Structure 1
Amino acid sequence: MKETKWLFIAISAIGGLLLSMTGLSIGWMLGTLLAAMLISFTKPNVLGKKGVPKYWLYAGQCILGIELGQKINLSVLTVFQKDWAVIIIMLLLSIVFSLLSGVVLWKFSKTDMLTSFFSTAPGGLSAMPGIAEEVGANTAVVSILQTMRVFLVIFIIPIVVSVLVFHPSAASAAQTAPSVFEWTSFGWTAVLAVTAYAGYHVGKKLKFPAPWLLGGMLSTAIVQAGTSSAVGYDMQAYWPHEIMILSQIVIAASIGSRFRKEMFYGLKQTIAIAFISTVLFISAMFVCAYIVSKATGLAFMTAALAFAPGGVAEMATTAVVLNADATFVVAVQVLRIIAVILVLPPVFRMLHAWERRKEAHSHASV
């Protein structure tokens, strides 16, 4: 059985490899998820009902938590200190619009409230399905609708921004400097790994949803930002891109292994409503970006990319190509993902508990 699980992950990863060849930065995640879903549909008993063991999902979440925590460095703190009012407005509006989208999906489709909110939350395809699974939402629906939102954002935002203002930049060919092995950077990687493990235990004690992700992310962010501020420069860990590829593969394979055909029955209306609400969400973000750019003098292109409910990598790449303020875009995107992952799951659980109490009271009164 252990060999079967290894083989399942390896074959699923081939799907990620193929989609990554298109240049899509989230290709490893989407391709692996699609391949794992296909195997689960055609061979539903290959891994049993439990699918890939949960520790694979936890390992991927821990890696993702360290990745997000590392991004809270001196440049992000400087941007936040300078433009904190604009960033807070953007974060609040993003959360409000995502909640409104969730309400629309919940009220006008057959999707339950918890699944609806997780499906529309702009917390990232890597994070939200994993958290949704732990709190009892329909992971299949969350994954499908989050994937659709990512594709819509990737296709719509860059095209619209490029049509409105296009300034090609020589920086478009620039690549992120590769992670070079040094003993100091390797030592800092070990420190962050231990920090993330400690953060997991704290998060578990505080009853965080997905403590491997949330606890690890928070503890890493505190140590990364605090130490960098103390020494006066950004502490660099040995963190090659392959580590994040591994995270995407194990998270996607773990989630995809639990998919069954019956999960998708009757989703036509749900997908249609989610599509409409997502397009309206993106349109509203464009309007807000325009208002913020006029009120603050921030370039519309930069505000639009920072507002966009997409991934950090996709929006950062577009910012570089269009010569927007990539540092500001990355800062807002990272802070929003962290805010969404921290704030929304407890709110969703509270609303879900309130709805269940309301239903119980209605049945009792009848």
Structure 2
Amino acid sequence: MIRTKGFLRNVSFILFSSIGGLLLSLTGLSIGWMLGTLVMAGAFSFWSHTNSTSSDDKYVLPRFWMNAGQFILAIELGQKINLTVIDIFRDHWMSIMTMLLLSIVFSLLSGLVLWKFSHTDLLTSLFGTVPGGLSVIPGIAEEVGGNIGVVSIIQTMRVFLVVLVIPFLVSSFAVHSAKLEVSNNQSAFIFPSLEMDEMIWTAVLALGALAGYYIGKRLKFPAPWLVGGMLGAASIQAAGSSFAGHNLTPWWPNILIIAAQVFIAASIGSKFHKKMFTGLGKTMAVALFSTIGLILSLFICAFIVSKLTGITFVTAVLAFAPGGITEMATTAAVLHEDSTFVVVVQVLRIVLVCIAVPPLIKLLHQRRLRNRAHSHAARNI
């Protein structure tokens, strides 16, 4: 009885929070479900935590829902590593790796600027600026000790700046075209026709993601449901497609990725409370300027890469953009640029960020703590 009551409370909270996602999705914004649900859940949680007098009244969505969302997201990302991605990476691996490494380096530098000139800790600053996606990074940040509320807000601001500024600078009409196309093509309630081979392949990818989770958990990956699951699904997708000689396609209706966004956003929002946002005004001001600096630096890098490799400047800018896969790919298609190349670089960036960046940030944080401990011990001698 108690379990049933708790489950119904969780479902009610998720459904209530998803109203915000539904409303914002009507604007055509690709992250509308994620962002709207996050705002609704965060506002309700902030209000309830502020007005509750007992710690028992402070509701937080159980970890199961975050794990479920990350598991779906892992399959979504893993299935994108198909023969097309492998072929493009093989042909342009030097350009792609240069773009990925430079974008990560500049994002980490942006995080260091945020840390130096605001009240946020190092972990939160670095995870706030790293270009891994609003649905990906906050969950990882929480597991390694970052402030999930501040990370979510900074990530949201970064995505908005990237989505609004870069297409506008590349082409004045691309923003409107991108929003219209995304709105028409991503109905939550259109299901692809059921094919037995696609259903079987979906089950195979799910088993691969589950195996990846257990391996990732044993190897102590951050967010093993996401990182381990993604690696497992990607390995199965790449191996299966290579063996078959063509890209294998799972049955994957859009409502699944919407459910993942809602689960993750509701889980993050349920943890919001007043103490998370102490001194947030200065943090947001510094984050705004550091994000603008990040975008400008990536424009410069895109120009250099385009000159060295022969890739057009517009394609390089859209591939370099730290966020907004759907908007960048649609803008590339509207301008008759290489949209496939843009998608490949963007997907590989998220994969690389999920795998490599969390351990690197954790290592930097631990090194800083050790240096602080040594200096403190030296002063006491």
TM-score tier after normalising by the smaller chain length: over 0.9
Alignment equivalent of 1:43, drawn from 39, 44, 48: 48
Q: How many residues align?
A: 364
Distance 1:260 1:175 in 2: 36
Work out whether 1:17 is the aligned partner of 2:22: yes
Alignment equivalent of 1:110, drawn from 111, 115, 119: 119
1:126 equivalent in structure 2 = 135
- 1:245 positional shift: 0.1
Gaps of 5+ in 2: 1-5
| Superposed counterparts of 1:131-150, under 5 Å | 131-150=140-159
Distance 2:140 2:16 in 1: 24
Query: 1:352/1:175 Cα in 2 relative to 1: closer, same or farther (>3 Å)?
Result: same
CA contact (8 A) 1:165 1:301 kept: no
- 1:47 positional shift: 7.9
SS at structure 1 position matched to 2:60: coil
Work out whether 1:208 is the aligned partner of 2:226: no
1:65 equivalent in structure 2 = 74
Distance 1:147 1:48 in 2: 28
Distance 1:163 1:19 in 2: 23
1:197 equivalent in structure 2 = 210
Work out whether 1:162 is the aligned partner of 2:171: yes
2:302 equivalent in structure 1 = 289
- 1:172 positional shift: 6.0
- 1:3 positional shift: 2.3
CA contact (8 A) 1:122 1:340 kept: yes
- 1:42 positional shift: 1.5
For 1:311, give the aligned amino acid. Answer: G
CA contact (8 A) 1:5 1:47 kept: no
Distance 1:327 1:73 in 2: 12
Distance 1:329 1:241 in 2: 21
1:91 equivalent in structure 2 = 100
Query: Which deviates the most, 251-260 or 263-272?
Result: 263-272
Query: 1:21/1:47 Cα in 2 relative to 1: closer, same or farther (>3 Å)?
Result: farther
Q: Deviations over 1:19-49 (max 9, x none)?
A: 0000000000000000001101111259844
CA contact (8 A) 1:62 1:216 kept: yes
- 1:175 positional shift: 4.3
- 1:7 positional shift: 1.1
Distance 2:195 2:25 in 1: 28
For 2:123, give the aligned amino acid. Answer: L
1:74 equivalent in structure 2 = 83
Alignment equivalent of 2:313, drawn from 293, 300, 304: 300
CA contact (8 A) 2:227 2:355 kept: yes
Alignment equivalent of 1:34, drawn from 39, 42, 45: 39
4+ residue segments displaced more than 4 Å:
45-50, 163-166, 171-178
CA contact (8 A) 1:105 1:277 kept: yes
Gaps of 5+ in 1: none
CA contact (8 A) 1:49 1:258 kept: no
Distance 1:164 1:96 in 2: 31
- 1:325 positional shift: 0.8
Distance 1:178 1:229 in 2: 27
SS at structure 1 position matched to 2:214: helix
Distance 1:165 1:237 in 2: 31
Query: 1:175/1:324 Cα in 2 relative to 1: closer, same or farther (>3 Å)?
Result: farther
1:245 equivalent in structure 2 = 258
Q: Deviations over 1:159-208 (max 9, x none)?
A: 00004999x89x96994896331111001111111111111000000000
SS at structure 2 position matched to 1:189: helix
Distance 1:40 1:270 in 2: 22
